Amino acid sequence: MRIGVPREIKNHENRVGLTAAGVHELALRGHEVLVESGAGVGSRIPDTDYVAAGARILPTAEEVWDGADMIVKVKEPLPAEYPRMRKGQVLFTYLHLAADEALTRALLDSGITAIAYETVQLPDRSLPLLAPMSAIAGRLATQVAAYHLMAPLGGSGVLMGGVPGTGEAHVVVLGGGVVGEQAAMMALGLHAQVTVMDVSVPRLAQIANVHDGRILTRYSTTLDVATQVADADVVIGSVLIPGKKAPKLVTEEMVSTMKAGSVLVDVAIDQGGCFENSRPTTHADPTFTVHDTVFSCVANMPGSVPVTATAALTNATLPYVLRLASGDWRETLRADPALAAGLHTHDGALTHAGTGEAHGIEVADTAAVIAG
């Protein structure tokens, strides 16, 4: 198979779909890998490394898309890339379609077979291709919050962990999944007071036990969220419902009760955000204010640490790329129900219920589409 790796064009997105090591594994199995010139520069992978690993470097994105049977990316295609998608081609990347109707319809119009990293789901309900980026985003969320608490950036001037004789910041984390636990761990490491909220009591118990009770836990109800948010110096939103829009847990009314200079980081922004006032921001312009609070809603947070993120992403996706490249995609999905859960579009048909619900589009039966 010919696998294409184009350069990412999202604002400050320095990750790339495959490392040189990933390319080498594909080349060893007889596949041809087409890499756009400069695609790996942001992740400190020069073209020469890709060539040494067995890739063919092409000068333009158009040539990569035109020549590839399967495109392996990091972020969802942007409007400039819509015309490059075509029927008969497989696209394997993050998509987050429930929050992007324009992209959903572009995928359907193109006829491309789109498989989303974020909805590949194992029997235990874990998300193996989302987990490494979730861990990075969770850790970054706390770093971002600590940074924007500084007064020159509009923050309250509170040091996350304080010093002896002063108070520490109260960090409230909404959602106890991978993002939430990683954010909480980082905040705890900075000596903040940390509260994690979730609707799963067993998950809260697990977090409390693993961290010896140093991370406080609260069951998430609307009233308790409002109470915790009003007391918080930092709120980190990390709620995820795979393939669906994130629920709006923090309303504008709640934000209006917060202390001036408090910071809210919405890691769920790829799925529409879990704060009422959230809107996507970029690394170039990451924040905006609401009622004297600072919102950070960067939609590709791991892109700011591309060396770590590209390596972690390739580690997770490469086994699936190898399987998809080894034969017909239908056979691969029939043999792997976890990967089949990632299928979103094929030949103009939408196959993911969450996306269909979000945009009012009829959904085809996934099993029937895979069966052909």
The reply to whether 270 belongs to the active site is: yes
Residues 6+ apart with CB under 8 A from 152: none
Alpha helices, DSSP H, located in 157-249: 178-189, 201-210, 222-231
Which burial class, exposed, middle or buried, applies to 79 when counting CB atoms under 10 A from its CB (0-12, 13-18, 19+)? Answer: exposed
Residue-level length of the chain: 372
Q: Which amino acid is at 219?
A: Y
The reply to whether 96 belongs to the active site is: yes
Closest CA to 320 of 308, 309, 332, 302: 332
Quote the CA–CA distance of 154 and 366 in Å, as a whole number: 48
DSSP per-residue string spanning 45-56: --HHHHHHHT-E
Quote the CA–CA distance of 12 and 10 in Å, as a whole number: 6
Tokens of residue 21, six digits:
């090591």
Active-site hit among 100, 198, 266, 270: 270
Q: Which amino acid is at 159?
A: L
Query: By three-state DSSP, how is residue 29 classified?
Result: coil
Active-site hit among 96, 170, 344, 352: 96
Active site residues: 96, 270
